[in-house]
């Protein structure tokens, strides 16, 4: 039986999601592989692999190591670059009836600005700025740990694009609420909490680091409680929507993040294990709403009872 | 690609730390090419978190066969599964071997845990010469089944000499490519013939005129050595690569390998590659 509930999220002016469930950048490539698995039109939004101005080769192997309830990755933001994306991938993604959110990053301010400028074209519904990747030597995370640096960077990007601008924050920030506030102040339309947590694994037999890059970013259910806390803290500080990300693996997790204050969520690591999880989790949300007599899912956001 | 619930039918130790797993799949896994693999979810909870990749040893009558070595926690947990236990299988994944062209004679080289795709291919082609290497007799699995592959010669190599030829499997390959068709060394001769020739390319050309294709799966050094031998003999060479993997279907870019045409994903663009395309470390 079809349950008549409203899962729509009006995330930002001009960016409406048919449900709050999106993928996390870097676990979905550019959508082609997953389109062979399920109909991508069911997604609340599709977030691309993080793009840089020029193609990026990424880190040496091994790039992946499993940890209890999660994994550490050190892919190093391998990507085809903004221009190749616009030429070869965007058209394909546009066939699916869901917003395409393009994730991008830079090693220096001008690169962020130029990426944002080039990506501000028809077919791109919003931009997600990665200021928090632990896997590249220069750039990335240093922008996401100091509120003043972040403010200056977001301001510059804001100046060149009218697209909805989402800033993806690092859990490393001393005070994530402060970072969220800086992003909002500089003109961000939403923030994502959180990127992976810098981490490491060592092989005691060889005395060597397990990852080619020595360190990487921890993700998966292991980090869910941390992500949930950051969503809670950030959403109380800012008026713009917060997107929750970190270890989400069920519709129950989605509801928890929304109660904490998330307007939408991103699912990453879990979909590497369960490629069919998106339809399951989206259906699970509808069923949850039916069970709890919730007509519109927007009514769940930030409604944690204290 | 499907995600099928499967029941363990058999999970039997067949060599040192090595198990033969037979799974009855709830549904048809679909056509597969030798060289393709599956990702197996070992637990319904999140430990271990990721699926594990395994080359397909065989699939017939709804039964999927996997041969694996216990290397870490995931495979240790797998080795403790009993008949009736549930597992979830995603596959078939990746690209398989490309088959020999016209009169190419296949040579197969497998070392360590590299047996499954090679065994599966030899079973499919039913011709050529299969060479298997292991550290010791205790590490050799499925010896009888390998010998019983129709119309295919089998040679075994152990590093300690406890079974077959003493040395490395690539030593045997080197020796075998030096003989023309019909002069391939038999298992019996190899057991006693441990003198190796350091072959030059010229010698190789003189001795061998038949086109050859060499398929290999095993440790990195073995693959590289196989490729060097293949190159000297102007034989085509396809290798099955291994890399740490998270998704198995091409989205995470965790398992890339450097090739002459840039980074390739072992899980999606491979695991089978033309050895000549790989930038060998």
- Regarding whether B115 and B88 lie in a shared domain, the answer is no
Examine the domain organization and report whether B175 and B229 are in the same domain.
yes
Chain B (216-245) residues lying within 8 Å, Cβ to Cβ, of chain A: 243-245
* B262, part of any domain: no
Catalytic residue among A34, A115, A133, A277: A133
**pLDDT for position A268:** 97
Q: What is the pLDDT of residue B189?
A: 37
Residue B110 neighbours by CB under 8 Å, 6+ apart = B118, B119, B130, B131, B132, B133, B169, B216, B217, B218
Q: Which of B32, B62, B93 is the last residue of a domain?
A: B93
Question: In the predicted model, is pLDDT for residue B252 greater than 90?
Answer: yes
Comparison of pLDDT for B26 and A226, the residue scoring more = A226
Q: Do B49 and A273 touch (CB under 8 A)?
A: yes
Best B247, B266, B279, B281 residue to mutate vs chain A (most A CBs within 10 Å)? B247
Residues B144 and B199 in one domain: yes
Both B109 and B13 in one domain: the answer is no
- Closest Cα of chain A to B51: distance in Å? 6
- A233 within a domain of the structure (yes/no): yes
- Look at residue A291 and tell me if it is in a domain: yes
Domain for residue B265, yes or no? no
Q: Identify which of B37, B31, B34 has the alpha carbon closest to the alpha carbon of residue B91.
A: B37
Chain B residue numbers with beta carbons less than 8 Å from the beta carbon of A271 are 247, 251
Distances (CA, A) of B236 to A241, A267, B94: 57, 43, 20
Whether B41 and B84 map to the same domain: the answer is yes
**pLDDT above 50 for B199:** no
| A69 is an active site residue | no
Count structural domains, chain B. 2
Partner A contacted by B50 (CB < 8 A): yes
The residue-averaged pLDDT of B246-263 equals 96
Question: How far apart are the CA of B241 and the nearest CA of chain A, in angstroms?
Answer: 13
* Host domain of residue A234: 9-59+76-200+221-300
B278 within some domain: no
Give residue B181's Cα distance to chain centre.
23
Chain A residues near residue B76 by CB distance under 8 angstroms: none
**A173 domain-assigned:** yes
ipTM of the prediction greater than 0.90, yes or no? yes
Looking at residue A144, its pLDDT comes to 80
CA of B222, closest CA in chain A: separation in Å?
A: 19
Query: Which range of residues forms the domain containing residue B166?
Result: 105-240
The DSSP output letter for A297 is G
Query: B61-113 pLDDT, tens per residue?
Result: 889 999 999 999 999 999 999 999 999 999 999 999 999 987 889 999 999 99
Among residues B93, B113, B144, the one where a domain terminates is B93
Q: Do residues A276 and A267 touch, judged by C-beta distance below 8 A?
A: no
Q: How open is the CA angle A62-A268-A196, to the nearest 5 degrees?
A: 65
Quick one: B114 and B221 in the same domain? yes
- C-beta atoms of A73 and B245 within 8 A: no
Give the separation between CA A184 and CA B54, rounded to whole angstroms: 47
CB-CB neighbors (< 8 A) of B252 in chain A: 26-27, 29, 64, 73, 75, 272
SS3 B265: strand
Q: B200 and B154: one domain?
A: yes
Return the percent helix, strand and coil in chain A, to nearest 5: 35, 20, 40
Q: How many domains does one find in chain A?
A: 1
Unique residue bearing structure tokens 């397909």: B56
Asked, for residue B40, whether it belongs to a domain, the answer is yes
pLDDT (0 to 100) of residue B181: 42
Is B252 in CB contact (< 8 Å) with chain A? Answer: yes
Taking the C-alpha atoms of residue B254 and residue B86, their distance in angstroms, rounded to an integer, is 27
Helix, strand, or coil (residue A176): helix
Q: Are residues B184 and B146 in the same domain?
A: yes
**Whether B118 and B76 share a structural domain:** no
Residue A216 lies in a domain: no
Residues B127 and B232 in one domain: yes
Write out chain B residues lying below 8 Å of A62, CB-based.
243-244
**Structural domain contains residue A253:** yes
For residue B260, is it within any domain?
A: no
Q: Indicate yes or no: CB of A61 within 8 angstroms of CB of B244.
A: yes
CATH assignment at residue B21: 2.40.30.10
The reported pLDDT for the residue numbered B102 is 79
Domain assignment of residue A67, yes or no = no
Residues B130 and B22 in one domain: no
Compute the distance between CA of residue B210 and CA of residue B132 in angstroms, rounded to an integer: 22
Two structure tokens written together for B198? 């350091």
Picking from A212, A123, A52, the residue whose alpha carbon sits closest to that of residue B255 is A212
Nearest CA in chain A to B46: A69
Asked if the structure places residue A162 within a domain, the reply is: yes
pLDDT (tens digit per residue) in B160-182: 999 999 999 999 998 888 764 43
User: Residue B262: left (phi > 0), alpha (psi -120 to 50), or beta?
Assistant: left
Mean pLDDT of chain B: 88
Whether A36 sits inside 8 A of B1 (CB atoms) is: yes
For residues B9 and B35, membership in a common domain is answered with: yes
Nearest to B251 among A34, A57, A274 (CB): A34
Facing A27 at nearest CB: one of B251, B257, B263: B251
Of residues B212, B252, B208, the one with CA closest to residue B230? B212
pLDDT in tens for each of the 306 residues of chain A?
A: 555 899 999 999 999 999 999 999 999 999 999 999 999 999 999 999 999 999 999 999 999 999 999 999 999 999 999 999 999 999 999 999 999 999 999 988 899 999 999 999 999 999 999 997 665 555 556 688 889 999 999 999 999 999 999 999 999 888 999 999 999 999 999 999 999 999 999 999 999 999 999 999 999 999 999 999 999 999 999 999 999 999 999 999 999 999 999 999 999 999 999 999 999 999 999 999 999 999 999 999 999 999
CATH number at residue A158: 3.20.20.70
- Best CA proximity match to B63, nearest among B35, B95, B32: B32
Widest pairwise Cα distance in chain B = 60
Q: Domain of B168: which CATH number?
A: 3.40.50.80
Q: Is residue A169 domain-resident?
A: yes
pLDDT at B197: 41
Confirm or reject contact between B47 and chain A (CB < 8 A): yes
Greater model confidence, A58 or B184? A58
Model confidence at B49: pLDDT above 70: yes
Q: Is B175 domain-assigned?
A: yes
pTM for this one?
0.91
């Amino acid at each position: 039986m079809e349950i008549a509930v409203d899962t729509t999220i009006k995330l930002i002016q001009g960016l409406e999601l048919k449900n709050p469930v999106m993928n996390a950048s870097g676990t979905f490539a550019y959508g082609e592989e997953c389109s062979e698995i399920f109909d991508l039109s069911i997604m609340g939004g599709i977030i691309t692999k993080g793009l840089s101005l020029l193609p990026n080769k990424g880190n040496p192997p091994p790039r992946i190591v499993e940890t209890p309830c999660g994994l550490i990755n050190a892919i190093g933001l391998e990507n085809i670059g903004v221009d190749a994306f616009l030429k070869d991938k965007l058209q394909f993604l546009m066939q699916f009836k869901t917003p395409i959110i393009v994730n991008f990053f830079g090693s220096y301010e001008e690169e962020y600005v130029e990426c944002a400028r080039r990506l501000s074209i028809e077919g791109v519904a919003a931009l997600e700025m990665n200021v928090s990747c632990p896997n590249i030597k220069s750039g990335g995370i240093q922008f996401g740990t100091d509120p003043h640096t972040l403010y200056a960077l977001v301001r510059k990007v804001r100046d060149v694009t009218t697209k909805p601008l989402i800033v993806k924050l690092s859990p490393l920030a001393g005070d994530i609420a402060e970072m969220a506030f800086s992003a909002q102040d500089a003109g961000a339309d939403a923030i994502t909490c959180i990127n992976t947590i810098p981490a490491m694994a060592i092989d005691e037999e060889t005395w060597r680091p397990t990852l080619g890059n020595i360190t990487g970013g921890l993700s998966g259910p292991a980090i869910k409680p941390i992500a949930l806390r950051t969503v809670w803290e950030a959403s109380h500080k800012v008026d713009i929507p917060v997107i929750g990300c970190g270890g989400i693996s069920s519709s129950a997790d989605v509801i928890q993040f929304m109660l904490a204050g998330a307007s939408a969520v991103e699912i990453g690591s879990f979909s590497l294990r369960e490629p069919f999880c998106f339809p399951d989790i989206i259906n699970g949300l509808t069923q949850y709403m039916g069970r709890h007599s919730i007509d519109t899912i927007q009514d769940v956001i930030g409604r944690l009872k204290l | 690609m499907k995600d099928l619930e499967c029941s363990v039918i058999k999970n039997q130790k067949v060599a040192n730390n090595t198990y033969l797993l037979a799974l009855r799949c709830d549904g048809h896994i679909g056509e597969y090419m030798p060289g393709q693999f599956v990702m197996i979810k070992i637990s319904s909870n999140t430990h271990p978190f990721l699926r594990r990749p395994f080359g397909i040893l065989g699939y017939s009558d709804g039964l999927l066969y996997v041969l694996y070595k216990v290397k870490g926690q995931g495979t240790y947990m797998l080795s403790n599964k009993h008949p009736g236990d549930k597992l979830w299988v995603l596959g078939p994944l990746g690209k398989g071997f490309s088959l020999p062209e016209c009169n190419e004679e296949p040579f197969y080289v497998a070392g360590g845990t590299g047996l499954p795709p090679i065994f599966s291919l030899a079973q499919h082609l039913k011709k050529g010469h299969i060479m298997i290497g292991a550290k010791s007799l205790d590490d050799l699995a499925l010896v009888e089944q390998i010998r019983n592959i129709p119309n295919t010669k089998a040679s075994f190599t152990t590093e300690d000499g406890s079974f077959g030829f003493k040395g490395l499997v690539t030593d045997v390959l080197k020796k075998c490519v030096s003989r023309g068709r019909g002069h391939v060394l038999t298992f019996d001769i190899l057991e006693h013939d441990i003198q190796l020739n350091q072959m030059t390319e010229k010698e190789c050309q003189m001795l061998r005129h038949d086109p050859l294709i060499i398929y290999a799966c095993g440790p990195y050094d073995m693959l590289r050595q196989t490729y060097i031998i293949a190159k000297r003999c102007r034989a085509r060479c396809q290798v099955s690569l291994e890399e740490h993997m998270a998704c198995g279907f091409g989205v995470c870019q965790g398992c890339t390998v450097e090739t002459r045409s840039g980074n390739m994903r072992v899980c999606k663009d491979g695991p089978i590659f033309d050895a000549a395309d790989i930038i060998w470390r």
